Amino acid sequence: MKTLVHWRLELLKHLRGPLLGTRAKGTSSNKWLHRQQKDPLVKRAVVEQYRCRSAYKLIELDDKFRFLNKGAVVVDCGASPGAWSQVAAQRVDCGASPGAWSQVAAQRVTTTSTNTQEIADLPGVLVMGGSDVTDPLVQERVRELLGRRGADVVMSDMAPNASGIREMDHQKIMQLAESALALSHSVLKEGGVFLCKLWQGPLANVFRSRLKANFSFTKECRLQSTRQSSSELFIYAEQYHST
């Protein structure tokens, strides 16, 4: 059975609703809703049964680097609402369409946390609801679940709620990336893959340089599926070695 360990960081992650979502009334909310309604990837996600448009970012990355191999064990950090986990489960499990995976009952592991929202179960996915990736106890629980098998891929689409203060937001997303990287060091197999989202800024360059100490290949990616107004980029690293 393919195992996709999947948890969410809700205290620091964007609050996400349905694809077209609802937000508090106001000018910015109206602009956001209009953008959602006009976005072709939002419309495509509805048709193809993905939980949000971010699914196409992971699809684009995997089409480029081919790291979601059949039978792989994947840890998805900050997974709400579950689109990356959908894509990963699909691609490690015979490449079926989102609505036609092998019918393996998803299990739910409940951990203690506050201010969290549940994610609906996914076939082939072990959901750790209400879990904070920055919590050492949560990271220990993931290590226990994986056991000696370890993970082939650790990936993170985590991001903090944007304050509008660029330097502060950049520091916050880097903290999340550091937490995901710390987990990768304890669960990744030799030769494994690490993938995470960052926002452009000086600390991103430092972070990528540090990755080179434990990964033989690293690549910074700006995706076609990223909105033009966004400063996000993804760092892909492969061929992990612990020393």
H-type alpha helices, 67-165 = 83-92, 136-146
Q: What per-residue confidence (pLDDT) applies to 105?
A: 24
Provide CB contacts within 8 A for 123, sequence distance 6+: 89, 101, 102, 103, 104, 105, 106
Of residues 112 and 88, more confidence is placed in 88
**Average pLDDT rounded to a whole number, residues 183-204:** 94
Q: What per-residue confidence (pLDDT) applies to 58?
A: 96
**Which band of pLDDT confidence, cut at 50, 70 and 90, is reported for residue 99?**
very low
Q: What per-residue confidence (pLDDT) applies to 33?
A: 59
Burial class (CB in 10 A: 0-12, 13-18, 19+), 149: exposed
pLDDT averaged over every residue in the chain: 77
pTM given for the model = 0.78
**Winning range, highest mean pLDDT, from 9-13, 16-20, 237-241:** 237-241
151-169 pLDDT, tens digit each: 999 999 998 888 888 889 9
3-state secondary structure of 205: helix
- The residues that are catalytic are 197
**Average pLDDT rounded to a whole number, residues 157-185:** 91
Q: What per-residue confidence (pLDDT) applies to 93?
A: 79
42-83 pLDDT, tens digit each: 888 889 989 988 999 999 999 999 999 998 999 998 878 889
